[in-house]
Amino acid sequence: MREVIDAFYRERSVVNHHLASYNDFLERRLQEIINSTRIGEGEGLERGHIHPEIEGYKVKLGRIKVGRPIAKEANGEEHPITPMEARLRDLTYEAPIFLEFIPVIHGVEYPAEEARIGMLPIMVRSKRCNISKEVLEEDAGRKLSKEEYEKKLIELQEDPLDPGGYFIVNGTERVLITLEDLAPNRVLTEKTNRYGYEVETAKVFSQKEGFRALIAVEKRKDGILMTSLPNVASPIPLVILLKALGLDSQTIFDNMTSYPETEVFVLANIEACEEEYKVTNEEEAIEYIGKKIAR
C-alpha cells in the first residue's frame, strides 16, 4: 500500500486539487462568468432624455484573459514578479485581467476593444504563475527536464520541493481551506427521529451563478408537507408554494401522485391548503407568502 501511495504522489502533489481547481477557474469558469453577464442598452439613462448618439447602443462582453504576475513601482513602471520578490517586498502576487468590450450600434457589431479591468491574485505554481513549468518552458521556447526545471527554480530563489497551491497577499502566504459540501441542485432525502416519531425530509441546495439557498420540505406528523424557504420566518405548506408558482389543484395532484397509494396523501395536502389555510388560487397563495415574508 505504501508503494501505491508513493507512486500516486509522485504524479500528483498533495495540493493538486487546489491547483486543478484554480486552473479550471482560469481556463473555463472565468469565461463562463463573463458569458453569463449581460449589459443593458442605452435606455438606462434618464427616461425621455436619451442622447441620439447613445440610443440603440449597447456593449457585449467578449474574451477575458489573465496576464502574468507583475509588480508596479512608484514611478508607474511595471515588471514581472516572482513569488520570492512578493514575499520579501510585502507585495501581493497578482496579475492584470483584460476584457474585450464589443460595441453594438443598431445591431451592427464593431471591432472589440480590450481594456484592463483589474488585478487577480495568482496561485503559486498555477498555470499563470511565473515559476510554473508551463511559463518557464514558454520563456525558454522548449521543454524543460525535471533537473533543468529545478535548477531554474533555485536560480529564482524558490524551493523545488514547494508544491505551491497558495496565494501571497501583502507578502504573507495565504491558503484556501477545502471543505466538503453537498452537491447543488440535487434533492437529498433523509429520515430522522424527532419529537418522538420518524420525520421525513427532502432538501435541495439550489444554486445558480454563485447564488445559493437551502430549500427543505418536511413531512409533519399529520402528513402535511411544509416547506422552509430563505427569508421566510416559518415553514409554509408545499401546496401553497406550488399554487403561488401558478399550478392549480388538479395539476398539483397529477404531478405528485406518482403511485396510487400516494393519492390520498396528496389529496389531504390539497384539502388542508384550501380548508385550513383558506388558499384556493394563485393570488391568495402569493398574498399568504407575502404576509410571511413581511413578518
Predicted TM-score (pTM) of the model is 0.60
| 240's grid cell | 401553497
What spatial distance separates the first Cα and last Cα of the chain, rounded to whole Å? 59
E strand or H helix that includes residue 208: strand 197-208
Same domain as 194, residue 164: no
Same domain as 74, residue 164: yes
Please, what's the b/e burial string for 169-205 (b: 16 or more CB within 10 A of its CB; e: otherwise)? eeeeeeeeeeeeeeeeeeeeeeeeeeeeeeeebbbbb
Same domain as 200, residue 241: yes
Q: Which of 195, 204, 258, 261 is nearest to 228 (CA)?
A: 204
Which stretches in the chain have pLDDT values below 70?
Answer: 1, 8-11, 39-56, 179-182, 195, 210, 294-295
Same domain as 170, residue 37: yes
Q: How many domains does the chain have?
A: 2
CATH code for the domain in which residue 256 is found: 3.90.1110.10
Same domain as 170, residue 208: no
| 48's grid cell | 425621455
* Domain C-terminal end among 118, 141, 174: 174
Same domain as 192, residue 147: no
Same domain as 262, residue 229: yes
Domain assignment present for residue 219? The answer is yes
Domain assignment present for residue 179? The answer is no
Same domain as 194, residue 162: no
Same domain as 221, residue 81: no
**pLDDT tens for residues 84-107?**
999 999 999 999 999 999 988 888
Q: Which of 253, 229, 227, 230 is nearest to 240 (CA)?
A: 227
Name the residue range of residue 220's domain: 188-294
Domain assignment present for residue 210? The answer is yes
Give φ, ψ of 4 to 5 degrees: -65, -45
pLDDT of residue 43: 44
Same domain as 163, residue 37: yes
pLDDT of residue 47: 43
